[in-house]
């Protein structure tokens, strides 16, 4: 089985690059002075963060907002050397092959443009046909606004498009946009694999273990 592929769009964090540890530490750094306590990864994940700016602003009073955001971006940049775990194996080769086939990938992410500008020179992912950030949309995934905006910019129809992501919000956003979806497992912890796979299939997504599998799904 292959998917339509006039537009192949990707989530970023957890799909192309490994930033879980980086985000957990930078978010905790940003919130600690405002909350008076340092949140653990479990504390942060309990609030289901989907876009760093929105998540941070939801946790603090308005008068803390600017300081919290500045602390986050300062920490996010400072911690890259130790906590950014790089690009997942096989991702650069998969993206290059899509470009070689004339299927340049697009990016639709809950990351802010400012955070992307910190990460992009360190990631080496190459060019994207379109990039849509949290700054560009009224609501985060699973709202499909970012995906639909990317398709408009590419002049592509949802029925001809594919979205690749690592979260159920990604897969639900694709479903709402009328796109095919692929869920990836390479960023999952062992106990997360089966629940994500089952829930993803219920949303109609194809689940893959390795980036190379995507190439087989999108063959001409």
Catalytically active residues, by annotation:
11
130 vs 125: CA distance, rounded Å: 13
Q: Which two tokens stand for residue 214?
A: 């995507």
Q: How many Cα atoms sit within 13 Å of 127 on the Cβ side?
A: 6
Q: How far apart are the first and last CA of the chain?
A: 11
> Cβ distance 131 to 106 under 8 Å?
yes
> Cβ distance 85 to 202 under 8 Å?
no
Helix or strand (DSSP H, E) at 164: strand 161-165
For the range 161-164, what are the long-range contacts, defined as Cβ-Cβ under 8 Å and sequence gap of 24 or more?
A: 161/4, 161/5, 161/6, 161/7, 161/8, 161/9, 162/3, 162/4, 162/5, 162/7, 162/8, 162/9, 162/218, 163/9, 163/10, 163/11, 163/108, 164/8, 164/9, 164/10, 164/11, 164/15, 164/214
């Amino acid at each position: 089985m292959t998917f339509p592929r006039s537009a192949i769009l990707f989530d970023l964090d957890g799909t192309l690059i490994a930033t879980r540890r980086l985000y957990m530490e930078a978010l905790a750094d940003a919130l600690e002075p405002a909350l008076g306590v340092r949140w653990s990864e479990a504390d942060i994940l309990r609030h289901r963060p989907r876009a760093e700016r929105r998540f941070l602003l939801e946790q603090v009073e308005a008068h803390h907002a600017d300081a919290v955001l500045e602390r986050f971006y300062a920490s996010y940049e400072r911690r890259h050397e130790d906590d950014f775990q790089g690009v997942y194996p096989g991702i650069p080769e998969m993206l290059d092959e899509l470009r070689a086939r004339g299927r340049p990938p697009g990016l639709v992410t809950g990351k802010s443009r400012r955070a992307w500008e910190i990460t992009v020179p360190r990631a080496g992912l190459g060019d994207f046909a379109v990039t849509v950030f949290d700054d560009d949309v009224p609501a985060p995934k699973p709202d499909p606004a970012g995906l639909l905006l990317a398709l408009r910019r590419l002049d592509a129809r949802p029925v001809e498009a594919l979205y690749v992501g690592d979260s159920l919000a990604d897969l639900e956003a694709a479903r709402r946009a009328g796109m095919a979806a692929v869920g990836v497992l390479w960023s999952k912890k062992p106990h997360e694999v089966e629940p994500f796979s089952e829930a993803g299939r219920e949303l109609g997504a194809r689940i893959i273990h390795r980036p190379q599998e995507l190439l087989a799904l999108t063959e001409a």
